Amino acid sequence: MRTNTISNLAFLASSLLVKDVIAGVVHNHARLHQKRDSYMIMVEEEVQISRGADGSFHTGRPVPVRTTTVLVKPSATPVADAAPAPASSSSVAPVVVPSSSPAAASVEQVKAAAASHVVEPEPTTTAVAPVVPTPAATTPATSVVRAAPTTLATSAAPASTAASTPVSSGGKRGVAFNDNSVLSVFSGKASWCYNWGQSEGTIPSGFEYVPMLWGNKAGFYDSWASNANSAISSGSTHLLAFNEPDLSAQSNMGVSTAVADYKTHMQPFAGKAKLGAPSVTNGGAPMGLTYLKNFVDSCSGCTIDFVPIHWYNGDALDSSISYFKTHVAEAHTAGGNKPVWITEFQYLGTDEAGFLAEIIPWLESQDFVERYSYFMASDGRLISGTALSAVGKAYIA
């Protein structure tokens, strides 16, 4: 089967917004999956999002970036990007963006534009085929706002055979990754790591690997007990629950479903490891902190040791810093005064280093903030080649 075109493709820092997919490919985040052999020709366009004086958001005309051809097949062999080719511009439907105000009403979720990516195919047992990029380093020309990224875990993998020893070096700082070869760059600068999945073959000493039960897609629950027990025996002391259940493009679980599944699959590990509530976006109600509070209030008899959240914003630097601090503090309250983990966050303005210079010391100084990880350890973001990028250096400074 061949997919002839994918049109109106808005590339986002950690996800894709696809307006038309002839082959019916469905996508979420973190890696690419497909049940049947096919080729996809993806046209990438940057779309700037601006805020008007009345608070509304508008999209600019798409700017062609490149064309990528991907072979999608049920194997674990990565497929490299094709050489860039000119992309024909096309119209893009208006995008509604959530306000940076924590009290904003619920709106459709979008991501910031990114200029390039690497798509990695990988087998999955899910009934759909998510499309996911690894974002490259780009800075939007204008301030943009997005909700938390859509990140899909890898499918069930063999239990890790490498020990994962927690250490104090690196303090609260963590590493969110897809490729474990990047972890050594952060040795001594971070104390924990996760990959939106349940296991990873080799983790350098000095890191605690934290498994995640990504959601209720086919296959994730089947392997969870075995992989979680294996990770715990190798040194893991924490477990993460569902990834962005408040976002339809992600684990997409109603509160009642999340509560029931948490009790079935997470609660049995109480006392064996610290358990994290579902990781929520910073979208407006009923998403974000509203979802978190409803989950915590509804999960009677649940052991919840910490609450993970995600945050993305591209307003002016000072207002974004203020919003971030307010949002994290409000997450502590919404989560029943449990310790907070910020497992994905990114400033989408033009001065990431300035944002991190203010935020990292603040995070380290807050007793209720237990851990955090900036999005993400990949080439073009926190990594440049085999070394830290400028943003990466700011993250560990």
Q: What is the pLDDT, as a whole number, of residue 62?
A: 58
Alpha carbon distance 391, 137 (integer Å): 9
Alpha carbon distance 209, 194 (integer Å): 6
pTM: 0.65
Residue 203, domain member (yes or no): yes
HEC secondary structure over 257-303: HHHHHHHHHCHHHECCEEEECCEECCCCECCHHHHHHHHHHHCCCCC
Residue 231, domain member (yes or no): yes
Q: What is the pLDDT, as a whole number, of residue 48?
A: 60
Residue 24, domain member (yes or no): no
CA nearest to 284, candidates 110, 102, 144: 102
Residue 162, domain member (yes or no): no
Residue 216, domain member (yes or no): yes
Q: What is the pLDDT, as a whole number, of residue 154?
A: 37
Cβ pair 239, 210 in contact under 8 A: yes
Cα dihedral sign, 330-381-64-248: negative
- Separation in Å, CA 36 to CA 152, 247, 256, 346: 19, 26, 33, 34
Residue 69, domain member (yes or no): no
Q: What is the pLDDT, as a whole number, of residue 225?
A: 97
Alpha carbon distance 104, 36 (integer Å): 41
Q: What is the pLDDT, as a whole number, of residue 218?
A: 82
Residue 59, domain member (yes or no): no
Where residue 323 sits, what CATH number does that domain have? 3.20.20.80
Q: What is the pLDDT, as a whole number, of residue 312?
A: 98
Q: How many domains does the chain have?
A: 1
H/E element holding 387?
A: strand 387-388
Report whether the peptide linkage leading into residue 376 is cis, meaning its omega lies within 30 degrees of zero. Answer: yes
Range of the domain at 353: 174-396
Residue 237, domain member (yes or no): yes
Alpha carbon distance 88, 258 (integer Å): 42
Cβ pair 92, 58 in contact under 8 A: no
Written as tens digits, the pLDDT of the chain (397 aa) is: 433 333 333 333 333 333 333 333 333 343 322 223 333 445 455 556 655 666 555 556 555 555 444 443 333 333 333 333 333 333 333 322 233 333 332 323 333 333 232 222 232 333 333 323 333 333 333 333 344 443 444 333 333 333 343 333 568 999 999 999 999 999 999 999 999 999 988 899 999 999 999 999 888 999 999 999 999 999 999 999 999 999 999 999 999 999 999 999 999 999 999 999 999 999 999 999 999 999 999 999 999 999 999 999 999 999 999 999 999 999 999 999 999 999 999 999 999 999 999 999 999 999 999 999 999 999 999 999 999 999 999 999 9
- Separation in Å, CA 386 to CA 177, 180, 346, 397: 14, 12, 21, 18
Alpha carbon distance 50, 56 (integer Å): 8
Output the six-digit token pair for 169. 């070096």
